[in-house]
Amino acid sequence: MKKIAKSDLSKLFAAIAEGSELYLPVKVAGQTNFAPYTADAEVDVDTLKTVKSAKDIFFPQSENLYTCKTDEEKNISITPEALQNENFVVYGMRGCDAKGMEVLDKVFLSEPVDSFYAARRAHGTVVAAACGEPEETCFCKVFGVDCAEPVADVVTWTVGDTVYWNAYTEKGEALTAKLADLLSDADEKAVEDEKAKIRAIVEKLPYSDLSLDKFGAGKTMELFDSPIWEELYKPCLACGTCTFVCPTCQCYDIKDYNTGKGVQRFRCWDSCMYSDFTMMAHGNNRTSQMQRFRQRFMHKLVYFPDNNDGMYSCVGCGRCLERCPASLNIVKVVKAFQEGAGK
Amino acid sequence: MCDCNCHEKYYEDTLIPKVGVITAITQETPDVKTFCVNAPEGGKLFEHMPGQCAMLCAPGISEAMFSITSSPTNKEYQEFSIKKCGQLTDYLHSLKVGDQITVRGPYGNNFPVDTELKGKNLLFIAGGIGLAPLRSVINYVIDNRSDYGTVDILYGSRSADDLVKLKEIEEVWKNVEGVNVHLTIDREQEGWDGHVGFVPAYLKELNFSTDKTALLCGPPIMIKFCLEALLELGFSKEQVYTTFELRMKCGVGKCGRCNIGSKYVCKDGPVFRFDEIDELPSEY
C-alpha cells in the first residue's frame, strides 16, 4: 500500500503524463468525462460518475479502420489504420466501468479477436478509484461489483486529504515503480476502514437488493413473449441515450467517408434502439420500438449470460437511470418482471 | 514506442478487406448478374465452404453480405449471384470486367456437407435468387457425387426469364446421374412448356418421400409455406435446413445487428436446421 497527499495529485498526473498518455475525468462546460490530460485541464476526480462511461478510451465512439484509395487505373489499395502502440494510463475509472471493460473483453477479445480493441487493452493501464460515496442510482452490487475494491491494475482510495494507492497487477506494479518518488509507504488500516464504510453505504442503497431471479441464461423463451414488454416500452423515445452512456453497450456501425482523396472506413457506436439498425433491402426483422426495446434488455439480461457463462451485460452503474429522458431504465425492467411474476 | 509487436498483426484483422477483381460477369436474368471474383494476382481470395458468405464493398458506396454461390470445388474463382435491389447492388450491376471491389470473409457456418449431409438423399428447394447459396452446395455434391444419394432440385421463379443459372441447370445439372431437376414458374408464359405454379404447391404435388434431407432457400413467404408442405409430407424439422438473411455489418458476431436470441446469424449461422430455429425467439 502506498499513499500521496490529495494536494499532490496534480504532480502525480504530470509525472504520469510525462511518460505516457493519461486519460482522466476532466470537466468541460460543466460536464465531467474522460479526456486526455493537459496541464490546464480542469481535472475532476471527485465526481462519482462521468456522463459517458470510460469505454470510449478502449472502444472509441468513432475510429478509423483503414483508408481505401483508387488510382487512375481504378486499382484499389487498402491501408489499415495503425494500431495503438503507445502505453497509456487511465486514472479514476470506477468499479462499475472497470467491470464494464470485462464485459467488453468478452465481446472484442473472443475469436476472432478485434485487433483495434485488443491493442488498446494491451497498452492501457487502469487506475481505478473506489467510490467513497456511492449514490442512490448505483446498483453495482447486484452485478457482483465491489465498488469498495474495484478490479483494476491499480486501485485508489481517497480518505480525507490522503489518496491511498495499491497495485494489483504487473502493469500496476510497473506504473507504481515509475512513480516511486511521489508515493510513500502506507499501512492498510485507513483503507480497510474506508472499504467497510463504503460497503455499509452500499448495503443501504435502494436497489442493492434487486433480484435477478427472473433473468439469466436459458430464460429466452420464458421472457420473450411476455406481455410486460408491451407495457414497459411505451415511454421509450428511441433516442439511444441509454446505449451511448452505457459502459457495456457494444453495438457498432461500419461506414465509409469520402475524404475527397480516398475513402475512410470507420466504425462508430450504433444503437439497437434505432429503427434503421436492422433494416435492409428485403425488410426489417425488428419493426417496432417494443421489439427494439426488448432486444436491448434481453441481450443484457439473457442472451449475453447465455453466451458468457452467466455474466450479465450490465454493471449497475446507473447512468441510464440518470439520463433517460423518459425515465426508463434497467431497474424498471427488472422490477416489472419481478412483480409481474407474482401476479 | 512500445517494444511489443502486437501492432503488426492488424493486417490479419477480419475487418480489413482484400481487393478483389471482377473477372467475368454473366447477366442471368433482367435483374440478376453473376460476378466472378479473383485476387488481383490471380487465384481465389480465400477458401470457403458451401453456405458461407462474404462482405462485398464498393468503397464509398456501401458494403453488404452476400452468399458465395460457387462451390469450393471451383479452384479458380469465387462467384456471387446478385440481385439488383438497393444502393450497393445497383452500383455492383454497373461494374465492368476488370473493375475492383473489396471483399472480406468468408463468414459464418456452412451446410454440413461433410458431416450430416454425407450419404443422404438430398432435396434442394429454391425460389428466385434463393438458388444462389444452394448452388454452392449443389455443385459441391455433384463434384463429390459418390458421397451422396439421390439429388432432387426443385427450383421456381416468377417467370422463365427469372430463373437464375438456367444454362447450367439445363446443360450440367440435368445430365448428372441421379440428379432430378423440377422447374416451375409462377404464371403461364409463351414458350414455357414446363410446370406452372408456386414452389410450395409443386412441392406437395411432387409428393417427395421422406428419406431425404431438404435444403431450403427463397423469399421468407416461400420458406414458410415450403416448410409447412414438407411437414405435411411427413418430413421432420431435423431434416430441413435453411439459410438466414439479416442485416450485417461486422460479420463476426460483435456489431450486434444480426443478433436473434443468443445467436448471431453472421457467426452462428447463416445455416440453421429448423429444429434449431424453433429454439430462437421469432424475430427473423
**pLDDT tens readout for residues A74-90:** 899 999 999 999 999 99
Q: Tell me the percentage of chain B whose pLDDT exceeds 70.
A: 96
b/e per residue B238-247 (b: at least 16 CB within 10 A) = ebbbbbbbbb
DSSP string, A236-296: -----HHHHH-SS---EEEEEEE-SSSEEEEEEE--TTSTTTTEETTEES--SHHHHHHHH
Q: Specify the pLDDT at position A280.
A: 81
- In the block, cell 465509409 appears at A256
With the C-alpha atoms ordered B35, B36, B40, B46, is the resulting torsion angle positive or negative?
positive
Nearest-by-CA chain B residue for A259: B60
**3-class secondary-structure state, position A187:** coil
With vertex at residue B248, the alpha carbon angle to CA B70 and CA A313, rounded to the nearest 5 degrees, is 135
Whether the CB-CB separation of A245 and A323 falls below 8 Å is answered with: yes
Overall number of domains in chain A: 2
Question: Across residues A170-181, what is the average pLDDT?
Answer: 97
- Report d(CA A51, CA B208) in Å as an integer: 62
- Domains in chain B, ordered, with CATH? 14-107 (2.40.30.10), 121-243 (3.40.50.80)
Same domain assignment for residues A127 and A9: yes
pLDDT < 70 stretches in chain B: 1-12
Chain A residues in contact with B41 by the CB 8 A cut-off are none
Closest CA to B185 of B177, B197, B201, B172: B197
Q: Considering only the beta carbons, identify the residue of A78, A112, A250 that sits closest to B17.
A: A78
Is this prediction's pTM over 0.80? yes
Residue type, B236: S
Same domain assignment for residues A28 and A99: yes
Nearest-by-CA chain A residue for B284: A285
Same domain assignment for residues A246 and A159: no
| A279: in domain | yes
CB–CB of B250 and A252 under 8 A? Answer: yes
| Pairing of β A154-159 and β A124-129 | parallel
- Report d(CA B206, CA B246) in Å as an integer: 31
Structural domain including A158 reads: 2-52+84-204
- Report d(CA A196, CA B219) in Å as an integer: 61
Mean pLDDT of chain B: 94
The pLDDT of residue A342 is above 50: no
Instruction: Give per-residue pLDDT as tens, A291-316.
Output: 999 999 999 999 999 999 999 999 99
Q: Tell me the percentage of chain A whose pLDDT exceeds 70.
A: 99
Instruction: Give per-residue pLDDT as tens, A236-261.
Output: 999 999 999 999 999 999 999 999 88
Whether the CB-CB separation of A142 and A120 falls below 8 Å is answered with: no
CB–CB of A76 and B250 under 8 A? Answer: no
| A212: in domain | no
- In the block, cell 449497475 appears at A316
**3-class secondary-structure state, position A78:** strand
**3-class secondary-structure state, position B196:** strand
CB–CB of B9 and A250 under 8 A? Answer: no
Question: Across residues A137-147, what is the average pLDDT?
Answer: 96
Mean pLDDT of chain A: 95
Indicate which of B41, B257, B277 best probes the interface with A, i.e. most A CBs within 10 Å of its own CB: B257
Same domain assignment for residues A196 and A231: no
Q: How far is B219 from chain A (nearest CA, A)?
A: 9
Chain A residues in contact with B247 by the CB 8 A cut-off are 277-280, 284-285
- Report d(CA B132, CA B50) in Å as an integer: 10
Same domain assignment for residues A190 and A235: no
| A61: in domain | no
Same domain assignment for residues A46 and A167: yes
Q: Specify the pLDDT at position B159.
A: 95
| A282: in domain | yes
The pLDDT of residue A284 is above 80: yes
Same domain assignment for residues A186 and A296: no
Indicate which of A66, A71, A73, A222 best probes the interface with B, i.e. most B CBs within 10 Å of its own CB: A66
| A227: in domain | yes
Same domain assignment for residues A193 and A246: no
CB–CB of A123 and B64 under 8 A? Answer: no
Whether the CB-CB separation of B89 and A282 falls below 8 Å is answered with: no
Same domain assignment for residues A290 and A335: yes
Whether the CB-CB separation of A333 and A322 falls below 8 Å is answered with: no
Chain A residues in contact with B243 by the CB 8 A cut-off are none
Q: How far is B255 from chain A (nearest CA, A)?
A: 5
- Report d(CA A72, CA A308) in Å as an integer: 49
At a CB cut-off of 8 Å and minimum separation 6, what does B187 contact? B158, B159, B196
Q: Residue B273's beta-bridge partner residues? A: B241
Q: Specify the pLDDT at position A282.
A: 74
Q: Any long-range contacts for B219-226 (C-beta under 8 Å, 24+ apart)?
A: B219/A282, B219/B127, B219/B128, B219/B130, B220/A283, B222/B127, B222/B130, B222/B198, B225/B198, B225/B199, B225/B200, B226/B125, B226/B199, B226/B200
Whether the CB-CB separation of B81 and B92 falls below 8 Å is answered with: no
The helix (H) or strand (E) run that includes residue B157 is strand B151-157
DSSP A188: S
- Report d(CA B33, CA A211) in Å as an integer: 55
Same domain assignment for residues A88 and A143: yes
Q: How far from B204 is each of A340, B158, B221, B243, CA to CA, in Å?
A: 45, 19, 16, 21
- Report d(CA A252, CA A274) in Å as an integer: 12
- Report d(CA B197, CA B183) in Å as an integer: 10
Whether the CB-CB separation of B140 and B215 falls below 8 Å is answered with: no
With vertex at residue B277, the alpha carbon angle to CA B274 and CA B282, rounded to the nearest 5 degrees, is 130
Same domain assignment for residues A188 and A275: no
- Report d(CA A77, CA A69) in Å as an integer: 5
Q: Specify the pLDDT at position A341.
A: 54
CB–CB of B2 and A78 under 8 A? Answer: no
Q: Considering only the beta carbons, identify the residue of B260, B262, B280 that sits closest to A307.
A: B262
Taking each helix axis from N to C end, the angle separating A170-178 and A9-19, rounded to the nearest 10 degrees, works out to 110
- Report d(CA A69, CA B59) in Å as an integer: 9
ipTM computed for the complex: 0.91
Same domain assignment for residues A150 and A89: yes
The pLDDT of residue A112 is above 90: yes
Chain A residues in contact with B256 by the CB 8 A cut-off are 250-252, 270, 272, 277, 299
b/e per residue B143-169 (b: at least 16 CB within 10 A) = eeeeebeebbbbbbbeebebbbbbebb
| A60: in domain | no
Chain B residues in contact with A220 by the CB 8 A cut-off are 261-262, 280-281
Indicate which of B7, B62, B63, B87 best probes the interface with A, i.e. most A CBs within 10 Å of its own CB: B7
Q: Specify the pLDDT at position B10.
A: 54
| A210: in domain | no
| A308: in domain | yes
